[in-house]
Amino acid sequence: MNNNTKLMHEEKILQEAMSNGISSRKELANLLAQVAHESDNFSTMEENLNYSAKRLAQLWPKRYADGNHNPNEKALNIAKNPEKIANDVYSNRMGNGNSNSGDGYRYRGRGYIQLTGRSNYEMATKELQIDLINKPELAATSEVAAKIAILYWEKRVPDSHKENVRQATKYINGGLNGLADRQNKYDEYYQKLTPEYLDKIQKGQQHSSNAQYDDFSALVSNLINDKDGSFTKQLLADNKDIVDAFNAKVQEKIKQEEQQTIAQEAQREVVEKSFGGRSFS
């Protein structure tokens, strides 16, 4: 990820946080540090479930390993198939239905905090008034991901611990995994988030031209991973007016080119007749 893209993600989160009344330099630095760590420096906006059978056995040994710690038959059957893996791993959990419901893959981890599970998507839908149940892919866009991250931060981390990296990590991670990296990131962000810098962010003066970059990246990612065509169909349906207008322009362009070709052929015939059938091709 280039620096401009990383900066865009940081600023999107800061703008959302500040618009929700978060102004403490320490809290903002802690928030960014935690989110940056959880999202692998903002590079993971959608959960990667493309696991090999061996990796499945390592991650979920009770489910996918045999008595010798080798991949079992189920692991071999679903390996390298993200949809099947998600539907199995997340079945009957976090508000999801069984493996045949498709909920596991539909509500897989997305966004800066990897929002996962139907119940969490329902919660975010209710709190943010954004339909993430029918359009879960929105959670992978920078704008919505920032809103979800702030919602999660406000609900998950007590006010008394929002400026403390160690304590906040316990509420976000459930332990202290990656504490050193989170602390290093906090130190870097605290130095960066000067009052002057935050003032510019609040006024929207920093890299506003890059604001839609990640939304486009997420769109491309969803199209690439659209195995069953459902995302593409929904995208076309949601943008029917734009699609129809585009198709109309295409048809008009085709007609113009056809007319131009006919005119060129007619002109060529006239020229050939005028010069005794000689061609200039």
Per-residue pLDDT tens for 90-105? 999 999 999 999 999 9
What pLDDT was estimated at residue 261? 58
What pLDDT is attached to residue 87? 98
pLDDT score recorded for residue 192: 97
Q: What is the pLDDT of residue 260?
A: 64
Contacts of residue 259, defined as CB under 8 A and 6 or more positions apart, other chains included, come to none
The predicted-structure confidence for 9-65, as pLDDT tens digits, reads as follows: 999 999 999 999 999 999 999 999 999 999 999 988 999 899 999 999 999 999 999
**What tokens were used for 27?**
């809290």
Round to whole Å and give the CA distance between 141 and 119. 20
Residues with pLDDT less than 50, the chain: 207-209, 271-272, 275, 277-281
The pTM (predicted TM-score) of the whole model is: 0.71
* 14-22 LR contacts (CB < 8 Å, sep 24+): 14/193, 14/198, 14/201, 15/146, 15/201, 15/202, 15/204, 16/146, 16/147, 16/149, 16/150, 17/150, 17/153, 18/198, 18/201, 18/202, 20/150, 20/154, 22/150
Domain segments of the chain as ranges: 3-47+109-227, 52-95, 239-281
Fold of 3-47+109-227: Lysozyme (1.10.530)
Q: 78 and 139 in contact (C-beta within 8 Å)?
A: no
Rg (CA), the chain: 26
* Strand boundaries in 72-211, DSSP class E: none
